Amino acid sequence: MTKTDETRAALNELSPDECIRLLGDQSVGRLAVAFPGEPPTVVPVNYLIEGDVIVFRSDLGQKLTRLRQQPVAFELDHIDYVHRTGWSVLVQGVAYEATHFETDHLALHPWAEGEKSHWVRIVPSSITGRRLVLPEWPRSSRGYL
């Protein structure tokens, strides 16, 4: 291993449970939706997590129309620019417009203007994540850092 390789951060896979915990600690992520043959549209949404299901609110528009027709992706990350570390979680699945019965007990207030009267649930088919971690530095017997 070269000195450069020894000082690079490692990319570790996160368990689905750790990914869900990280999703629960945040409140804004990015939703990716697309029509067949078109590039995806990626938009930020404020959300909450219920079990392993992501819930957000939306107005009528492209985002709601597109998610009704195709699988979706939801991405969340955290970057520490100083230490060059961080993590990323990717949820892939199917989104659908939820009923009042499914959402009446939830307290989710939209950040953006608009009524946002449509509640959307993303049911994951896949939850993956990775964490970029710094390598362990060998201890010096001389007491230097």
Is residue 140 a part of any domain in this protein? Answer: no
Whole-number pLDDT of residue 137: 62
* Chain mean pLDDT for the chain: 87
Is residue 49 a part of any domain in this protein? Answer: yes
The CATH number assigned to the domain holding 76 equals: 2.30.110.10
| Domain limits for position 124 | 10-130
SS3 104: coil
Is residue 4 a part of any domain in this protein? Answer: no
Q: Where residue 145 falls among pLDDT bands split at 50, 70, 90?
A: low
pLDDT(116) > 60: yes
Is residue 66 a part of any domain in this protein? Answer: yes
- CA atoms 35, 39, 43, 48: torsion sign: positive
Which pair of structure tokens corresponds to residue 16? Answer: 């689905």
Nearest to 116 by CA among 125, 105, 103, 127: 103
Q: What percent of the chain has pLDDT over 70?
A: 88
Q: What percent of the chain has pLDDT over 90?
A: 52
Higher-pLDDT residue of 83, 7: 83
Spatial distance between the Cα atoms of 19 and 39, rounded to a whole number of angstroms: 26
Q: List, for residues 49-95, the tens digit of each pLDDT value.
A: 999 999 999 998 888 888 888 899 999 999 999 888 899 999 999 99
Q: How many independent structural domains does the chain possess?
A: 1
Whole-number pLDDT of residue 5: 55
SS3 73: strand
Is residue 25 a part of any domain in this protein? Answer: yes
Is residue 138 a part of any domain in this protein? Answer: no
How much is the pTM? 0.83
pLDDT(14) > 60: yes
Spatial distance between the Cα atoms of 19 and 92, rounded to a whole number of angstroms: 13
Nearest to 65 by CA among 114, 120, 112, 27: 120
Distances (CA, A) of 60 to 43, 46, 74, 93, 123: 14, 16, 19, 21, 20
